[in-house]
Structure 1
Amino acid sequence: MKNSIILSTFIFSFLLVISCQAEPDKETVAVDFEVVTIADGLNNPWGMAWLPDGRMLVTEIKGEILIIENDKYSGKKLKGVPEVYANNQGGLLDIQLHPDYESNGWIYFSFSKPGDGGGSTAIMRAKLEGENLVNKELIYESFPKTRSGIHFGSRIDFKDGYIFFTIGERGEMDNAQSVGNPYGKVHRLHENGDVPEDNPFVKIPDAVHSIWSYGHRNPQGMQFHPQTGELWSHEHGPKGGDELNIVKKGKNYGWPEISYGIDYDGSIITDETEKEGMMQPVHYWDPSIAPCGMTFVSSDRYPEWKNNILMGSLKFQYLNRVVLDDKGNYVEEEKLLEGIGRVRHVAESPDGFIYVAVEGPGKIVKLMPKK
């Protein structure tokens, strides 16, 4: 009897191993890479952009733009950075070069701008003269200002001569459903700050005419898909309910009327997860991962990740890889760099390498594929 039990246990274990091996994960493909720290001892790096000469510009939330040359930080910083409203999540935030930078020289950045009544999300553009920001133009500022130190949004991207940027609802839920204020929205402007005539709410007198979509909580990742041209974003939910969305003209993304999360104290914000006329996310996270920063992988240096989304997890401190199918449906995800710190942003350099900005401890790392 004893031998029979041992034999049965062995057969069960053998079949379990075989069954696990018989159905390998078809989507999650390991990429062998080395994590190289190119800058450490930083504060809170937030945005990354590359000049044509290879220098990398990194925004620090406290109000500095660092210069990294040849993957080394020597302490150089740009001069002429505007004063920021450095309150909690506010400060100097995203940075992007104009797609035609080599011909026009414009650098765009988002920041929380101080003033009477608190701070607002603002977009400025400037040119570079040596290591100085010159010809600065404030092309957008949100009103009314608020003393709230949360939910500034602030990611930037460009397409077809327009600048798109996100603004969170600044901790006031009801802001997101009103097109009469700029908070909890994705915005679209001409590159000089003028309002396009075909924006969805320009014919509504009391609306904010830069609004492209509304019903957002705090979108801190946004990029156009390199193949489809669709605008993708993710946003923080409350306790649960982080979302990955495809952002479309004039659409309502539901916050706080619908949500897959609850309030931080456990109370119910809404009983509804869907309503007519409100968009559903491509995917949502519960529990929240606190997503921040994102990039689509277009580089051939990581062929197994092509067209996947990389995004940070502030809460669980890893880099998240999201796999989509050919129709843009969520398939699965993979945790990378677990325990590295709060991943604030991830970006692909012009030469195709992945860089990750981390806070706590503040550093920039580069993912170097092993040959």
Structure 2
Amino acid sequence: MNAMKTFVLTSLFAGCAAAQGFNDRPPNGSDQEPAFENQTRAPALPRVAVAHRTVVDGLEHPWGMAQLPDGSWLVTERPGRLRLVAPDGTLSAPITGLPKVDAEDQGGLLDVIVGDDFADTRRLWVSFAERDPDNLTHVSVATGVLSKDATRVEDARVIWRQTPYPSTLHYGSRLVLDDKGGLFVTTGERGGNEFRHAAQDLQTTLGKVVRIDPLTGAPMGKPGVAGALPEIWSWGHRNMQGAALAPDGSLWTTEHGPMGGDELNKPQAGRNYGWPDVSYGTEYSGEQITEGLTQKEGTEQPVYYWDPSIAPSGLVFYEGEMFPDWNGDLLLGGLQSSSIVRLKLSGDRVVGEARYLQNVGRVRDVDVAQDGAIMLLTDEDGGALIRMTPR
């Protein structure tokens, strides 16, 4: 493994969309209109110079990361490995003790998180794809305790399993501990025309935000609909691979659309976010989604959407000292855009967008280090943990 590369690369961005190189392409949904100003293609933010360096590379499709109090990072690799990256870039051997994962297609070991009390409890949570005895697959969430020497997860146990389906796509699967004792889990609707309408079925957990007790998995959702599964928080989602808690304690998510129609949402309990009845995306064939509707009574509009797609994955609110003007901004990874995307908010609306490190690779996750540096994971055969700072 190549740790702590010494070279520094610089990325400069102009203050207009044309110069920055994003939003140059026409939307796929050329006849669609946003519901309100700046719901898409918000003004480009002023130029900022940044530098980045690779902390460690050679990772096999890394997916999620969590910083520990000593400055090291837990990093998942989709084939089923959990690693520890020391502050100096040293990469550990795989940490043992996790449940068996199913790594076919988009499955594998996915997200990892720790709580604010990790220094005392050493508790962590992981999400992963699992295959059941009937050969169906689902997202599962497990919790356990990282050993003092960080070589194994002790007492790992599965606390929650998604509705199983015969698909190996669209697992979603970000984890967020809230400030009221709950654990949010985002799920995908498992992909394709055959399964997508399950996102509207309140007897499944496909295409949902669910909220559970982080130690027992007991339902803590608020669907507000008779007969709905009690762990459901919101529904009508496609494939949520970004989730973060805002400074005010509210949950925000990003999800993949099909061809265009990627969304930023602020999911509210008991609300329907439309998929697949409503979408700003189009089929990969170019045909309309369902009836081609972008608005429908009883469904919520996204706070923001992208067309063409950026394929958003990973989400965090910036809070730190290195980029003081960015405090309160949203940062997300772009798989298809191969960049870090920054959104400036005013209340619950986006007022500006910028992109950094364009062509850095498929950015699967993004987080903020203790010193305010921005950390990203690139999802490649030889993926990397990368540190971004001001130049």
Q: Which whole-Å CA distance do the structure 2 matches of 1:136 and 1:74 have between them? A: 22
- Residue in 2 that maps onto 1:85: 102
Contact 1:31–1:304 (8 Å) recurs in 2: no
Identity %, equivalent residues: 37
Q: Is the 8 A contact 2:262 2:311 kept in 1?
A: yes
Bigger mean CA offset, 347-356 vs 294-303? 347-356
Aligned to 1:59: 76
* C-alpha deviation, 1:41, in angstroms: 1.3
After superposition, residues 258-269 of structure 1 pair within 5 angstroms as 258-269=278-289
Residue type of the alignment partner of 1:354? I
Equivalent residue, structure 2, for 1:332: 352
Distance 1:151 1:162, change over 3 A: same
1:158 aligns with 2:181: no
* Residue 206 of structure 2: aligned partner: 183
Match of 1:42 among 59, 67, 81: 59
Extract unaligned runs of 5+ from structure 1. 1-19
* 2:174 is equivalent to residue 174 of structure 1: no
Q: Please tell me whether residue 275 in structure 1 is matched to residue 296 in structure 2.
A: yes
> What is the CA distance between 1:26 and its match in structure 2?
9.4
Say how many residue pairs are matched.
342
Distance in 2, matches of 1:257 and 1:369, equals 42
Q: Give the aligned residue type for 2:336.
A: K
Q: Are 1:100 and 2:122 counterparts?
A: no
Q: CA deviation at 1:331?
A: 1.1
When the two structures are superposed, what TM-score results if normalisation uses the length of structure 2?
Answer: 0.83
Partner of 1:312: 333
Aligned to 1:239: 259
Match for residue 243 of structure 2? 222
How much does 1:202 deviate?
7.6
What letter is aligned with 1:51? Answer: L
Q: In structure 2, what is the Cα distance between the partners aligned to 1:27 and 1:259?
A: 24
Q: Once superposed, which parts of structure 1, at least 4 consecutive aligned residues long, lie more than 4 Å away? A: none
Alignment correspondent of 2:22: none
Instruction: Give the partner amino acid of 2:143.
Output: R
Work out whether residues 27 and 323 of structure 1, in 8 Å CA contact, stay in contact via their aligned partners in 2: no
Amino acid across the alignment from 2:175? I
What's the counterpart of residue 141 of structure 1?
A: 161
How far did residue 307 of structure 1 move?
1.1
Match of 1:128 in 2: 146
Give TM-score scaled by structure 1 length.
0.88
Residues in 2 aligned to 1:106 and 1:203: alpha-carbon distance in whole angstroms: 34
Confirm or deny: 8 A CA contact 1:357 1:364 kept in the other structure: yes
Residue of structure 2 equivalent to 1:12: none
Displacement, 1:114?
A: 1.9
Q: Which has the larger radius of gyration?
A: 1
Quote how far apart the aligned CAs of 1:369 are.
Answer: 2.9
What secondary structure does 1:155 align onto?
strand
User: Which amino acid in 1 is paired with 2:198?
Assistant: N
1:191-248 CA distance string (max 9 Å, x none): 2234356x3248734x32211000000010010111x322110100111111111110
> Is 1:342 paired with 2:376?
no
| 8 A contact 2:322–2:371 mirrored in 1 | no
In structure 1, the residue corresponding to 2:271 is in which secondary structure? Answer: coil
Aligned with 2:173: secondary structure? coil
1:244 match: secondary structure: strand
The whole-number CA distance in structure 2 between the counterparts of 1:214 and 1:358 is 29
Task: Considering Cα pairs closer than 8 Å and 6+ residues apart, tell me whether 1 or 2 has the greater RCO.
Answer: 2
Q: The residue matched to 1:288 in structure 2 has which SS?
A: coil
- Aligned residue for 1:77, secondary structure, equals coil
Which residue in 2 is equivalent to 1:5?
A: none
